[in-house]
Structure formats: C-alpha cells, structure tokens
C-alpha cells in the first residue's frame, strides 16, 4: 500500500496529538488540528498549494482562538500555590528549635508550616517561645520575641 498525501497529514496530526500529551503547551494541539483539517482537504483531492493554505489558515485560527481559551481555563493556572509570603509578616509563631544565629539553628511553626528562622538582633530564642515575624528573606524568617 502506498502512502498518499492525506495519510501523511493524518499521521502528522496523530504525532502532534501524542507530543501534546507529553509537552502540554497547547501549541502542538493547534498544529495537530490544522494537520487534521489539511488531511481532510487532501483526501478531497485539493492540490498541495491549497493544502498548505488550509494548514496555515487553520494553524492561525486555532492558535488565535483555541490557545487563549485553553490557557485561561487550564487547571494548572488556577491551582498554583500562593508565593506571596508578605502576608505572614506581623503574625505570631512558636519556636520549635532554639534560634541561635551562631550555631545556625532555628525553626518556627507558622501557619501550619515549618520555617527556618533567625532572630532580629542575633539573640538566642528558646524553644517553645512565641515570636513575631518581622521580615522574610527568601526562605528565612526574621523574628523577635514577644
């Protein structure tokens, strides 16, 4: 059996859909839809220049219409964790490991999570003490005793 041009377009569409499963950036699916539509046009007997025109048009239409819709309704956009930790400043926490800047030790429990902590002026803060969050420096919380 000899491969016709519409077979190649459909194989390309299937390949792009499979790539989309692994990459998941919604560009492959747009080109896959365009390949599928071009395969249908090729099956009807249209010439190669007309097929390329259909591929370009369907690619542009699917990229302009489908991609924004899919990315807007994507589940990964809705469930990203909140990385804005500035709302933790001013809250109270409990020391679960003695805070000693010289020994580079210190952990606190804040809003249900454990954080590495340092004291404001380098003082030692005992375990089970209550502290107030003053600042957050990357993943280290600066605290003072209450």
The per-residue pLDDT for range 31-45, each reduced to its tens digit, is 999 999 999 999 999
Residues 6+ apart with CB under 8 A from 109: 93, 94, 96, 115
- The C-alpha atoms of residue 67 and residue 82 are separated, in whole angstroms, by 24
Is 6 in a helix, a strand, or coil?
Answer: helix
Q: Which residue ranges in the chain fall short of pLDDT 50?
A: 77, 79-80
Q: What is the pLDDT of residue 74?
A: 66
Own/partner contacts of 3-8, CB < 8 Å, gap of 24 or more, are: 4/42, 5/42, 5/48, 5/51, 6/39, 6/40, 6/42, 6/43, 7/39, 8/39
Element (H, E) at 114: strand 113-119
Q: How many CB atoms lie within 10 A of CB 130?
A: 13
pLDDT of residue 48: 95
What pLDDT is recorded for position 95? 95
**pLDDT for 84:** 63
Q: Would you state the pLDDT for residue 76?
A: 55
- CA nearest neighbour of 88 among 117, 61, 65, 51: 117
Rounded to a whole number of angstroms, the CA Rg of the chain reads 29
pLDDT at 82: 54
Residue-level pLDDT at 41: 96
């Amino acid at each position: 059996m000899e491969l016709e041009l519409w077979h190649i377009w459909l194989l390309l569409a299937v390949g792009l859909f499979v790539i989309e499963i692994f990459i998941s950036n919604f560009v492959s699916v747009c080109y896959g839809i365009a390949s599928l539509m071009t395969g249908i046009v090729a099956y009807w007997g249209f010439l190669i220049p007309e097929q390329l025109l259909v591929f370009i048009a369907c690619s542009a239409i699917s990229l302009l219409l489908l991609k924004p819709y899919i990315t807007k309704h994507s589940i990964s956009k809705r469930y990203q964790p909140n990385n804005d930790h500035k709302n933790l400043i001013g809250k109270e926490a409990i020391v679960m490991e003695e805070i000693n800047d010289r020994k580079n030790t210190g952990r606190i429990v804040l809003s249900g999570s454990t954080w590495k902590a340092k004291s404001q002026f380098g003082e030692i803060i005992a375990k089970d003490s209550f502290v107030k969050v003053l600042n957050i420096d990357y993943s280290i919380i600066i605290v003072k005793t209450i």
